[in-house]
Amino acid sequence: MARPGARVVRLGVAREELYYFFAKLQSVLSDAKDANTRAAVQTTLGRAFRKQGEEQKAEAAFRAAIDLADNSSPGKEAATQLYELLHLSVGQPAPSFSATAISGAKLSLRTIEANHLCSCSGARIEWIA
């Protein structure tokens, strides 16, 4: 088990690294001339802001990436991330869906009781009663 003091040092280092990460991305963003590069940096910033719980900054970064290069790979990724942020976050209403289970049973949002949770990870979906 780590000493409490050692843990604080690790958190401090992580914060310094995070600060460096944001500063470096801002530097790359200001130096980049290519719209695709700028969109990629904005998308990366958006994901980082989202992980930090700063949803307004994340939304602004995703929108900037889309404005810079909406048909590029980073622009499309930003659009996907923005949609998830605005429509698929915790507390948002679940989107309507229908699917067929391995057993052949038909599933839809209407058939699921309110006390069930869905945990999605990649292509795997787990139902928790």
34-84 confidence digits (pLDDT tens): 999 999 999 999 999 998 889 999 999 999 999 999 899 999 999 999 999
Q: What is the pLDDT of residue 80?
A: 94
87-114 confidence digits (pLDDT tens): 887 777 777 778 888 888 888 877 765 4
Amino acid at 53: G
The string of DSSP codes covering 8-72 is HHHHHHHHHHHHHHHHHHHHHHHH--SHHHHHHHHHHHHHHHHHTT-HHHHHHHHHHHHHHHTTS
Q: What is the pLDDT of residue 55?
A: 93
Higher pLDDT, 101 or 122: 101
Cβ count within 10 A of residue 74: 22
Q: What is the pLDDT of residue 117?
A: 54
Q: What is the pLDDT of residue 124?
A: 55
Pick the closest to residue 37 from 13, 69, 61, 78 (CA basis). Answer: 69
The pTM score is 0.66
Pick the closest to residue 29 from 56, 72, 80, 68 (CA basis). Answer: 68
Question: In the chain, where are the structural domains located?
Answer: 4-87, 98-128
How far is the C-alpha of 44 from the C-alpha of 123, rounded, in Å? 23
22-45 confidence digits (pLDDT tens): 888 888 888 989 999 999 999 999
The confidence band for 21, taking pLDDT boundaries of 50, 70 and 90, is confident
Angle, CA 113 vertex, CA 112 and CA 114 arms, to 5° = 120
Cα 72 to the chain's mean position, in Å?
Answer: 18
CB burial of 76-96 (b: ≥16 within 10 Å; e: otherwise) equals bbbbebbeebeeeeeeeeeee
Tell me the CATH number of domain 4-87, given options 1.25.40, 2.10.240, 2.60.40, 1.20.950. 1.25.40
